[in-house]
Amino acid sequence: MLMRTDPFREFDRLAQQVFGSNSRPAVMPMDAYRSGEEFVVHFDLPGADPETIDLDVERNVLNVRAERRSPAPEDSELIADERPTGTFTRQLFLGDTLDVDRVDASYEAGVLTLRIPVAEKAKPRKIQISGGDGEGGGRKQLDR
């Protein structure tokens, strides 16, 4: 199971609209879905230098951090400054059903893609039923 949370997201969005503040850039947009035996998550990070992207997992919490710097030289006069710059962060709470030790990450065309496999313990498995031989009444066994 994949869960996301940012309790201040709506408050920050409203503050940016009302006050025009870029003090805390908007969180990175994402899409997440399950495809077969893995969860796939895409984060939009256009213009982020791949060297600034940092991923870590601690106690099933995935932290994503990236930085986008302004392309304008320091001594230039800004005419328009609408694209957010700074540090972008996002946390995902990963369920116990995901194998956080085997996360695969790639960055292409401004999109960070994570592939998180489903843990073996969470995959469906067959339960073998032993035949009744007249004794014991046909006991059921769970094969793992």
In a domain, 23, yes or no: yes
Give the domain extent around 12: 2-122
What tens digit of pLDDT does each residue of 40-49 get?
Answer: 999 999 989 9
In a domain, 29, yes or no: yes
- pTM for the model stands at 0.68
Report the alpha-carbon distance of residue 120 to residue 83 in Å, rounded: 42
In a domain, 89, yes or no: yes
| Domain count for the chain | 1
What tens digit of pLDDT does each residue of 52-85 get?
Answer: 999 999 988 999 999 998 888 989 988 888 888 8
DSSP line for 102-141: G-EEEEETTEEEEEEEBPGGGS-----BPPP-SSTT--B-
In a domain, 8, yes or no: yes
In a domain, 71, yes or no: yes
CATH number at residue 56: 2.60.40.790
